[in-house]
Amino acid sequence: EAGVAQSPRYKIIEKRQSVAFWCNPISGHATLYWYQQILGQGPKLLIQFQNNGVVDDSQLPKDRFSAERLKGVDSTLKIQPAKLEDSAVYLCASSLEGNSGNTIYFGEGSWLTVV
Amino acid sequence: GQNIDQPTEMTATEGAIVQINCTYQTSGFNGLFWYQQHAGEAPTFLSYNVLDGLEEKGRFSSFLSRSKGYSYLLLKELQMKDSASYLCAPQGSTLGRLYFGRGTQLTVWP
């Protein structure tokens, strides 16, 4: 079974530029998550989708971050304009449903460096 | 709010046993996950506890006490490849959201 796919793997941009990350979840998984992991910290949830609807975006900095999941499968996360503190790994994850006990599977992440 | 506490670093030698503790306070609770994360890689699922007690899976075991807000991950017969960060992640009761601690960086020495 294919895992969660993400691209690009690495990205270096200057501050105030924009960047977009793409994610393809595990086939059949209704719930998709974007996490931000800053070096030395645990992952922090940015946004959670159930099919193509947003169920939790309370920690998404909406002035610069946006995400969409059209057709309930692939998702993109965009940052515009980027700040130095956005340097982090952006992890996409998916689960069958957003319910208790459903294991969340992570992609390998997209490493962002803002200079 | 959420408060998850686990040690930042631990070291051990090959063949030894190590216990990584985690205490948590979350708004709503429906179980606790442990993930392993090697440097530069994605977190991978290790264990899930929903009821009090010990869950054993090969060399790894995980314990949960819901009333105490406490869990631990027990790693036996340590191998060099077990050097990684171990993330404690209680699951909230709404939407299945996971809250992650900072992780415990375990280094296994020969």
| B87:A48 CB<8 A | no
Q: Is the pLDDT of residue A108 over 80?
A: yes
Secondary structure (DSSP) of B62-108: EEEETTTTEEEEEE-S--GGG-EEEEEEEB-SSTT-B-----EEEEE
pLDDT digits (tens, 9 = 90+) for A38-90: 998 999 999 999 988 999 899 999 999 999 998 889 999 999 999 999 999 99
Structure tokens belonging to residue B22: 């985690």
Interval B57-79 mean pLDDT:
96
Closest C-alpha to B21, from B88, B68, B99, B105: B88
Residue A64 — left, alpha, or beta (φ > 0 → left; ψ -120 to 50 → alpha)? alpha
Q: Is the pLDDT of residue B1 over 60?
A: no
Specify the pLDDT at position B2.
Answer: 72
Specify the pLDDT at position A97.
Answer: 75
Chain A: closest CA distance from residue B91 (Å): 7
Specify the pLDDT at position A82.
Answer: 97
Helix (H, G, I), strand (E, B) or coil at B110: coil
Closest C-alpha to B89, from A37, A21, A109, A10: A37
Cβ-contact B36, B62 below 8 angstroms: no
Kindly compute the dihedral angle of the four CA atoms of residues A95, A96, A102, A107, in this order, to the nearest 10 degrees.
-20
Confidence of residue B66 (pLDDT cuts 50, 70, 90): very high
Structure tokens belonging to residue B19: 């216990």
Specify the pLDDT at position A1.
Answer: 63
Contacts of A43 in chain B (CB under 8 A): 43, 87, 100
Specify the pLDDT at position A52.
Answer: 85
B82: how many CB neighbours lie within 10 A of its CB?
Answer: 20
Best of A95, A99, A100, A105 to substitute, by most chain B Cβ atoms within 10 angstroms, is A100
Q: What is the DSSP letter of A72?
A: G
Q: What values do phi and psi take at A83, rounded to 5?
A: -115, 160
pLDDT digits (tens, 9 = 90+) for B4-46: 999 999 999 999 999 999 999 987 888 999 999 999 888 999 9
List beta partners, residue A91: A35
Chain A: closest CA distance from residue B41 (Å): 6
Specify the pLDDT at position A78.
Answer: 98
**Amino acid letter at B29?**
F
